[in-house]
Amino acid sequence: MCEMVGFLHVISPRSKFRLLTGDDHLTEYRFNTGTARHWFCKTCGVKSFYIPRSNPDGYALNLRCMDRAQFSKVEIRPFDGQHWEENAGKLAHLSRE
């Protein structure tokens, strides 16, 4: 979880994610290397999902933006985001098929 914004990351292979509606309400933002692509709601500013630098073959989805009725169980695992560079490799397997 990102401590500053409360983003609960659900990392998914790209083939398993499909945005059903609302793409016209999103805006994209890139910073630093431009590798990661972040999508924000144009109305409220919430980051709903992004393609992370650590997982360019997948998406990091914000659990807080998802329909929780679709999940029977969610396990939240801690991740040291303050030392992201040292820990990013621990995430790579999550977006593989």
Tens-digit pLDDT profile for residues 39-96: 999 999 999 999 998 899 999 999 988 887 877 788 888 888 888 888 888 888 889 9
Round to whole Å and give the CA distance between 2 and 36: 16
Torsion of CA 86, 90, 91, 92, to 10 degrees: 100
Round to whole Å and give the CA distance between 92 and 34: 19
CATH number of 9-79: 2.170.150.70
Q: Could you tell me the pTM of the whole model?
A: 0.81
What is the mean predicted confidence (pLDDT) over 13-29? 94
Q: What is the pLDDT of residue 61?
A: 93
